[in-house]
Amino acid sequence: MIKSVEKSKYLLPAIFCLLFVCVLDYFTPLDVAIGILYTSIILIALRETKKTILLLTIIATLLIIINFVYFNAIATFSHWVFPVNRLISIIGLWVTTTVALNYKSLQEKLLKERIEYTETLEEVIFVTSHRVRNPVANIVKIVEIMGDDHISVKNLKEMIPFLGKSAEELDTVIKDMTGD
């Protein structure tokens, strides 16, 4: 729910910008390359989905073309600058969109890698806390008992195999973790 609210908060400003640039474009003569301002819509909508960015780009492209067709038809004279300005606007818009979509793809890839890294890290922490902790706790306890002044030599000799077994368990766990 929170993600959809976050994403949608950029759509309204992008639509507002689209309308503002459209109105500005209609009140600007065709020989002024104001249409390139449509690229700002893509930058505002960068946090939206790829579909939304493409939809805004298509709408902006259509508005650029409609503006050219309408005003070129009512213009008192035709000039080569009119179509060139419109073409530059459309190319700039689609280049910006391509860069934005590539950026979003890279962001998604990095997020996926971060999630995989976090899962791996959690697994290592789990292994460390469960599989390593048991043999280490055994070794610590055996050494603690061995350090007691009242323990007999016979009891010390009986503990050595347990100490060895715990050390082997620890060695196995470490080999499993490092892939040796």
pLDDT tens string 103-162: 999 999 999 999 999 999 998 788 777 888 888 888 899 888 888 888 888 888 888 898
Helix/strand number for the chain, H first, E second: 6, 0
On the question of pLDDT at 75 being above 70, the answer is no
The band of 77, judged by pLDDT with boundaries at 50, 70 and 90, is low
Q: Tell me the average pLDDT across 40-58.
A: 90
d(CA 137, CA 173): 14
Specify whether the backbone of 102 is left (phi greater than 0), alpha (psi in -120 to 50) or beta: alpha
Question: Residue 2 pLDDT more than 50?
Answer: no
Query: Which pLDDT value is given to residue 54?
Result: 94
- How far apart CA 58 and CA 74 sit, in angstroms, is 24
